[in-house]
Amino acid sequence: MIQKITASERDKEKFSLLKVDPESQKDDFFDYSKVVIKKPWGHEYLIYRNNEVAVWVLHINNGYQTSMHCHPNKKTSIISLAGEAQCSTLADEHTLKPGQGLFLGKGVFHSTMALSPEGILIMETETPTNKKDLVRLYDNYGRRGMGYEGQEHHLDFNDSELNSFHKEEERYLKEKKFGDCEVLMIRHHDAEDFKNTLVSLGGNIAAVLSGGLLNSKKESILEVGDVVSFQDIKNIEDVTLEEPIELLLIKKI
């Protein structure tokens, strides 16, 4: 299950009151694939990136939470892979269990807290991939108004199993276990082959990493960066591919 949330008038009002230096928001094009980012609430690491979408995994310790922040120019998803998470926006609180998530439009302020004693494992997708596109409204660890963590917070990333998402020859049709979920990447050039593959697969959530889906009238249904319930994709009739498509599938075990 995935719930879509768009920026509210309150989000826009809060953002308008903040002083944001445009220079601080520019992408530095750093390669995050070989490091773990140490955070006051835990850590995070990149498992996949192309020119348009980045996929991150976050471990948040029990009782800790991310800052209340937004991404002015990014679509973002937050998906629980293990444990119970509380994701707060300026208007609501959402409890996420493994296989459940939120799809946030540009400019939605949000914060994620770990409710489970062992902490939580969260997957996030970001479109576009710029890590500098970050504005903190408030933060429990003194980072309000500060940008994304610099290299002094980087640790070496030597987990070969997780790094294999960065290796094209090991990336596809190979399920990987993250907490209570399995993650699978698929890629197809042919619409009929794509539909046949979907029939044979199960899942809770799907993220479009490249390409897109069109209906019989050649109208766009899903585009790069969209995150939806897997069943919604399986239910589409007369689907065609805008170009070769790549999907990330998340399934609760």
Which of 117, 139, 165 finishes a domain?
Answer: 165
Same domain, 181 and 231: yes
Residue 43: name the closest of 61, 17, 69, 22 by CA. Answer: 61
On the question of pLDDT at 6 being above 90, the answer is yes
Which of 165, 192, 211 finishes a domain?
Answer: 165
pLDDT in tens, 107-139: 999 999 999 999 999 999 999 999 999 999 999
Residue 52: name the closest of 104, 130, 106, 149 by CA. Answer: 130
On the question of pLDDT at 164 being above 80, the answer is no
Mean pLDDT computed over every residue of the chain = 91
Same domain, 134 and 18: yes
Same domain, 134 and 181: no
Same domain, 126 and 189: no
At 198 the pLDDT is: 84
On the question of pLDDT at 238 being above 60, the answer is yes
> Which pLDDT band holds residue 162 (cuts at 50, 70, 90)?
low
Same domain, 22 and 88: yes
Same domain, 62 and 180: no
On the question of pLDDT at 1 being above 60, the answer is yes
Cβ neighbours of residue 66 under 8 Å, at least 6 residues apart?
Answer: 39, 41, 58, 60, 111, 112, 113
From the CA atom positions of the chain, what is the Rg in Å?
18
Same domain, 81 and 106: yes
Which of 165, 190, 223 finishes a domain?
Answer: 165
Same domain, 188 and 110: no
Same domain, 156 and 183: no
Same domain, 83 and 113: yes
CATH of residue 101: 2.60.120.10
Same domain, 15 and 136: yes
CATH of residue 174: 2.60.120
pLDDT in tens, 24-36: 899 999 999 889 9
The structural domain count of the chain equals 2
pTM of model > 0.85 = yes
Residue 118's domain comprises 2-165
The two three-digit tokens of residue 144, written as one number: 């309000």
Is 1 in contact with 95 (CB distance < 8 Å)? no
pLDDT in tens, 49-75: 999 999 999 999 999 999 999 999 999
Same domain, 190 and 159: no
On the question of pLDDT at 159 being above 70, the answer is no
